[in-house]
Each structure stands twice: as structure tokens, then as C-alpha cells.
Amino acid sequence: MVQILRPDEVKAKYGPLFCRGYLTLVDEENGIAQIVEQCVARGPGEWDIVNRRRTKGVIDEIRMEGQTLIMDTVIGERELHFGPVSTDMGGQGLAALKVEGNEVRTTWYGIAGASVGIGACIPQCDDVIRTEYPDDFKIGGAFKAHVDIITPKRVRVIIGMDDTDTKEKGASWVVALKLGTECPIGRFIDHKIIQLNPKVPNKTTNCCSTAVSFAVTEDEIPALIEYAREFIKDHSYSKDAVMTVFQGLRIPDALKDFGWRAKCELFKPEDAIRVAEENGVQIISVTGDKGVIGAVAAIGCFDLGARSAGIPEDFQ
């Protein structure tokens, strides 16, 4: 018989622990997912990185940004490889990530102290719906344990924008960051400032566009888009503001190429419109149309890391 516990019940049973966020974002079209796990300190995350890489499972890539673990996974199931090191050091791994209607099931295995993380720490996070424990579950010591953690199915939505400011007033990156931090819909994930070609004739000062990403349930997407459109409209000083929308975890190569080239080449609005139409980007005219190139490029550069903030010669 499986024991099912809600986060508050897990906290009452084991005492308050350290997980502050556990979001499961899926991209079913590409068969991939991303888990965003927030902790109160770096130490547990660094230990998790080493152990989860060792066991492999469905995790393809794992990294840490501040106190947040980001895991890129496949949707499905794979064998775990704890190896002989587990006898002396314990271990932890993600064996499966499956989409079940509007929920995501992640199946975790842990040995020794690692079972505390998967059995008591993550399950008491407010982002979790419930955790399913097998009858023989034991935490800590030399025991090997597994749990199924069930969370809401969320998707990533990126909102790009450009030309919200003028030479005298405003900054697009400020509008975007305020949108991310003030939006009541979904969960704000990330913010990027996109440096574009500083030699373009029509620009304010720095020639930057910007973008923010959110984790939302699928039924929240229309409300998020409408909220963002109104927010940008209300906070724009320009009559040329454009907003773009992209859903998914994998930005198409053609879109990334356009974003990177926009840092050193001159494009026409029709170039941006064509790339957007061919790669799943929605273009929304908020107060005008001139910001379309930067708003599309912001989506293309969103996953480029620090390269999003520079121009090509900065990385030669």
C-alpha cells in the first residue's frame, strides 16, 4: 500500500527543511523537461549535482545558479547507475519524469543521507501537490529508498520586448524586470538584457532589448499574455513598443541565429517577422511596430547565457 502525504503533512512528520522551490516545466513537443529546484544554501545543491550526474537517469544536464539547481531532463524513464561508490558515500538520482494529464510525476531514488533530500526535503515544498511513499520507505542510515513526487505541469513562456523607452525617459530592461517581479500569474523565472547592434541608426542609447520568462500552467497562458501586454502599454514611454511571446524549452536554431546576428548586422522588420512566423514566436504590437527586430532577437538570445548581454567581439 502506498502512503500519500501532502507538503504540510511531510513537514509535520519530519520537521521543516530547506527546499524553497520545485518547479517542473515540460516541453512535450520536444520530449524534454526542466526542473528548477531552489535551496536555502549552495552546499546541498553542489552535493546533488555531483551525485545526480553520477547516477545519470533522465537528467541530461544539471547546473547551479546561485542557490538554484536547474536540471535539463528527458520525458520518460532511464536506468540509474549508482556504482560502487554508493556503498560508502550514498547517492541520489532521478529515474523517471512522466507527464500525467495536468501533473508531472518525478521518481527519485536515494541511498543513505540522500534519502532525506528526496523523502523529506523536496516533498514539503509548497510547489508539490503530493508525494507517494512505498510501504518499505525508510529515511537516512544505509537504506535505499524511492519516492514519487507529483507537481503541477508547467510550461515556460518567454516575453520579449523592445522600444518601450525614448532618448529622454525609461529603460526597457526596467519594464521587463518590473513585469517579472510584479506579475501575479505563474512564477517569474529569469530576466535577460539583450545587447543588440550599437551601430543601428534608430536607437535610444544602448540599443538593448529585454525579455523575462515565467513558469505557468497551460490554462494561465492567455491571462499572462494579456497582463504583460497591458503592463508594457502602461509602462512604455514610446509609441513603438512591441512584445513577443514564445512557449517551450528549446529555442529553434534559426531563431538563435537571428538573435546573435542582430548584435552585429542590420535587419529589416520583415526579416524579424519572417523568422518569428517560422519559429513559433507571436508578435504583439503594443504601442507601435518599430520594436519588432529587438523583441524577436530577445527571444533568440534568451538562452545564450552571458553572451546575451554582449556583442560578438566581446567573446572572441
**Which residues 6+ apart lie within 8 Å of 263 measured at CB?**
195, 196, 197, 297, 301, 310, 311, 312
Of all helices (H) and strands (E), which one includes residue 208?
strand 208-216
d(CA 301, CA 297) in angstroms, rounded, equals 6
Q: What is the domain partition of the chain in residue ranges? A: 3-152, 155-315
Residue 190: strand pairing partners: 213
Give the three-state DSSP class for 224.
Answer: helix
Into which CATH architecture does domain 155-315 fall? 2-Layer Sandwich (3.30)
**Which residues 6+ apart lie within 8 Å of 311 measured at CB?**
195, 197, 198, 263, 264
Distances (CA, A) of 131 to 134, 184, 215, 299: 10, 27, 21, 35
| Residue 93 buriedness (CB in 10 A; 0-12 / 13-18 / 19+) | buried
Strand order in the sheet with 208-216: 187-195, 208-216, 155-162, 242-247, 282-285
d(CA 276, CA 66) in angstroms, rounded, equals 32
Q: How much is the pTM?
A: 0.93
d(CA 195, CA 210) in angstroms, rounded, equals 8
Per-residue model confidence as pLDDT tens for the chain (316 residues): 799 999 999 999 999 999 999 999 999 999 999 999 999 999 988 988 988 988 889 999 999 999 999 999 999 999 998 766 555 556 789 999 999 999 999 999 988 767 788 999 999 999 999 999 998 888 766 667 889 999 999 999 999 999 775 555 657 889 999 999 999 999 999 999 999 987 766 655 568 899 999 999 999 999 999 999 999 999 988 888 999 999 999 999 999 999 999 998 889 999 999 999 999 999 999 999 988 999 999 999 999 999 998 888 877 6
What angle do the packed helices 172-182 and 221-235 form, to 10 degrees? 140
Give the three-state DSSP class for 312.
Answer: helix
